[in-house]
Amino acid sequence: MSDGAPTRTERRRARTRESLVTAARSLIAENGVSGLRVGEITERADVALGSFYNHFESKEEVVEAIVADTVRAIAAANTPLIESLDDPAEAASVSYRRFVRLADEDPELARLLVNLDRAEARSESMLVPEAQKTLERGVETGRFEIVDTSVALTAIIGGAVAVIQGILEKRLPGDADIPAAQGMLRSLGIPAGEAREIAGRDLPEMGLGDDGGDGK
């Protein structure tokens, strides 16, 4: 009997939470955040109204959960690719650009993200583990010149959120991820010409680096 195995109650609780998040996500897709109602979420999830408040304090909290779950899933899907890239600078550029491209590839999610209370801090909490590893790898290999990785990470993610907002508001072009990534690499100590070249590369396919067994 493994101490780490979830109990039946914990599994049921997790399933209920997932049902609520899935229901809220579909309702947002249909009616937007402003039209989201707790009663409709529980009805769509087929659970009692009180069950909602066992998991979330408000509809704003379930919206945050949707964003967090989705962004973490995207980060996890990117991990094999990022870890397969030998150059930490390219890994940082690819990670950064994929995050910023949410504005174009999933604008509804991107709007939810930038409109969260303390969006930059919340984005940081979602992305820190993998991003921190990339920065630390760059420092260890001498690729990056960073005084403090935590400060650098805060600045990078805050800047990325601002670029996403600019794209959504049409103040910035849809391909703003490229010059933004170039500036990010410059801030890490990458020379200007090299930063421009790395940031301008075609983004690799998501499957790259997976252990798919399809061969080279």
Q: Is the pLDDT of residue 14 over 50?
A: yes
Q: Is the pLDDT of residue 117 over 80?
A: no
- What are the structural domain ranges in the chain? 8-56, 61-199
The verdict on pTM exceeding 0.85 is no
HEC sequence for 122-161: HHHHHHHHHHHHHHHHHHHCCCCCCCCHHHHHHHHHHHHH
8-state DSSP, 6: P
Q: Is the pLDDT of residue 126 over 80?
A: no
Which amino acid belongs to residue 152? A
| Range with the poorest average pLDDT among 41-55, 121-135, 138-152 | 121-135
The H helix count followed by the E strand count for the chain is 11, 0
Which class would CATH give 61-199? mainly alpha
Q: If you average pLDDT over residues 29-39, what whole number do you get?
A: 86
Superfamily of domain 8-56: Homeodomain-like (1.10.10.60)
Which residues touch 212 (CB under 8 Å, ≥6 apart)?
none
Per-residue pLDDT reduced to its tens digit, 171-192: 999 999 999 999 999 999 999 9
Choice between 63 and 128, residue whose per-residue pLDDT is larger: 63
Separation CA 215–CA 15 (nearest Å):
37
The three-point CA angle 85-89-72 to 5° equals: 70
Read off φ and ψ for residue 3, nearest 5 degrees.
Answer: -65, -25
